[in-house]
Structure 1
């Protein structure tokens, strides 16, 4: 697990813009990975499962509950963007969730997140809003949008 934690943090540290404070720290990721309801995927730059010891280009983590799963994190290393890895991860997560018996996949993101296009193109629809949920480094407040996809 330590190797996978290091590999996830390699992508996380490069992928998330610090202005939004959305990246998880090592302790948060580690705490989630030890839970039996947390699942993740690591992909290399060609879109294949990253082999042990190989630096991944992308990762995603979900948390499962009876009948549903929540996409907690998804990230693509900046050097591997625009190759379809984000969409591939979304589809792999949906397939995995369905195989585990889930009927819906959820996610939540800030309203100005450019990943919105990716999620909507993969069947996610907005189902809710949390007013002023996110706070940017400059103090700006933004709503969180909850999305769902039926599997």
Structure 2
């Protein structure tokens, strides 16, 4: 994987606003700023931030100007496969089409990259499963006791795939 220039601080700021609001600390799923920045230095990793209407927000520009970030998707691809690493929507924008818009944007961008299949992994019990099923993701694997929650409890991981 080829390194690229450091990602825009504004992009990382927007992602982190959503990250901090969207992920429940009990599950330990949120990434820190360094993890996001490091991932985005790889040419195979992509991020998209959208507003509450599902419209993309430019990566550059003053963070304090323009629409507030409501969701993001972070992915990486190799050859014709893409992995959805993280998708998040702030609580106030959930069930309003923001997650659906993120997936639609992801599918369109992935097709342009020549991707034919998208994968994701989630913890069992994650309510996002409804969105994934709606968009045609099917379970293809399971990892028993894969995730460790903040309280030490172990939770299974389910892997999903979808052709595009």
**Residue correspondence of structure 1 range 45-56 to structure 2 within 5 A:** 45-51=52-58, 52=61, 53=63, 54=66, 55-56=68-69
1:71 aligns with 2:78: no
- Find the aligned partners of 1:148 and 1:99 in 2 and give their Cα distance: 19
Which of these residues, 92, 95, 100, is aligned with residue 82 of structure 1?
Answer: 95
Q: Which residue in the other structure is 1:125 paired with?
A: 138
The 3-state SS of whatever aligns with 1:102 is coil
Q: Which residue in the other structure is 1:12 paired with?
A: 19
Gaps of 5+ in 2: 1-7
**For the aligned residues, what is the CA RMSD?**
1.0
TM-score, scaled relative to structure 1: 0.96
Give 4+ residue runs of structure 1 displaced > 6 Å after superposition: none
Q: Which residue in the other structure is 2:70 paired with?
A: 57
Which of these residues, 44, 61, 71, is aligned with residue 51 of structure 2?
Answer: 44
The 3-state SS of whatever aligns with 1:93 is helix
